[in-house]
């Protein structure tokens, strides 16, 4: 019924800490920066994949998915809510790239996983929108939530990741254990 524990070279069963050490990843693989980089890569890839899907499958007309949610195609030449649309895609991409570099440096220096994940989400979303500006001249927005005739501004997965990442950073700042207890998140970053 019960499996016998493996024996060490000395013939004794391994202690609990030895078993635990075998299952743990090396510190380098548990570093918060890797979680942040993985989050950034995942957000960027998912954002670009959904935009490519919308561009390939969308015929220009809204597609009702749910009574309060449509898939649309909107070319956003500005930033949030279309602001600064007259600034031009290269200037907006350059500003976005500068912000993304600051976020990545912050993420690489972070010693907390939660913070690194949040920064990765923001950086990945920013990178997705920057790529749109550079390759298409505008950001592809397609998620349209509405109540009756009132529609929120269309947005995309990158915008969602940026919003969630910023909310996570606010949460970490206000309530994070790392600030009070010196938690490192599993390894020096």
The pLDDT tens digits for 143-155 are 999 998 887 888 9
Name the nearest CA neighbour of 68 among 155, 142, 141, 148.
148
Active-site amino acid positions: 141, 159
Q: How confident is the model at residue 22 (pLDDT cuts 50, 70, 90)?
A: low
Distance, CA of 81 to chain centre: 20
**What is the CB neighbour count within 10 angstroms for residue 22?**
9
Mean pLDDT for 117-122 is 93
| pLDDT tens, residue by residue, 95-116 | 777 777 777 777 776 778 888 8
Evaluate if residue 159 carries a pLDDT over 90: yes
- Number of structural domains found in the chain: 1
Evaluate if residue 28 carries a pLDDT over 70: no
Evaluate if residue 54 carries a pLDDT over 80: yes
Name the nearest CA neighbour of 100 among 37, 168, 172, 184.
37
Which single residue is written with the structure tokens 């206000």? 174
- The verdict on residue 58 lying in a domain is yes
- The verdict on residue 41 lying in a domain is yes
Which structural domain, as residue segments, surrounds residue 44?
30-181
- The verdict on residue 113 lying in a domain is yes
- The verdict on residue 19 lying in a domain is no
CA dist 94 and 84 (Å) reads 14
- The verdict on residue 65 lying in a domain is yes
pTM of the model: 0.68
Q: Could you give the count of Cα atoms lying within 13 Å of 150 in the half-sphere of its Cβ?
A: 1
Select, from the ranges 7-16, 107-116, 130-139, 155-164, the one with the highest average predicted confidence (pLDDT): 155-164
CA dist 136 and 69 (Å) reads 25
Q: Which of 111-115, 131-135, 143-147, 180-184 has the lowest mean pLDDT?
A: 180-184
- The verdict on residue 86 lying in a domain is yes
- The verdict on residue 102 lying in a domain is yes
Mean pLDDT (the chain) is 78
Which has more confidence, 47 or 16?
47
How far apart are the two ends of the chain, measured CA to CA in Å? Answer: 44
* pLDDT score at 38: 92
- The verdict on residue 189 lying in a domain is no
Residues of the chain with pLDDT > 90: what percent?
A: 33
Evaluate if residue 166 carries a pLDDT over 80: yes
Put residue 168 in one of left, alpha, beta given phi > 0 → left and psi -120 to 50 → alpha.
alpha
């Amino acid at each position: 019924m019960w499996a016998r524990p493996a024996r060490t070279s000395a013939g004794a069963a391994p202690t609990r800490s030895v078993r635990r050490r075998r299952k743990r990843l090396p510190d380098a693989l548990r570093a918060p920066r890797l979680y942040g980089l993985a989050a950034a890569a995942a957000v960027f890839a998912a954002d670009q994949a959904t935009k490519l899907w919308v561009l390939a499958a969308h015929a220009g007309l809204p597609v009702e998915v749910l009574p309060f949610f449509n898939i649309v195609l909107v070319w956003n030449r500005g930033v949030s809510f279309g602001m600064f649309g007259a600034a031009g895609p290269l200037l907006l991409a350059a500003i976005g790239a500068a912000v993304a570099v600051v976020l990545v440096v912050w993420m690489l220096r972070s010693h907390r996983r939660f913070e690194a994940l949040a920064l990765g989400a923001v950086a990945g979303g920013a990178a997705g929108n920057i790529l749109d500006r550079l390759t298409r001249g505008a950001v592809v927005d397609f998620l349209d939530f509405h109540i009756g005739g009132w529609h929120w501004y269309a947005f995309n997965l990158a915008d969602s990741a940026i919003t969630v990442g910023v909310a996570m950073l606010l949460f970490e700042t206000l309530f994070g254990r790392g600030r009070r207890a010196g938690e490192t998140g599993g390894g020096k970053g």
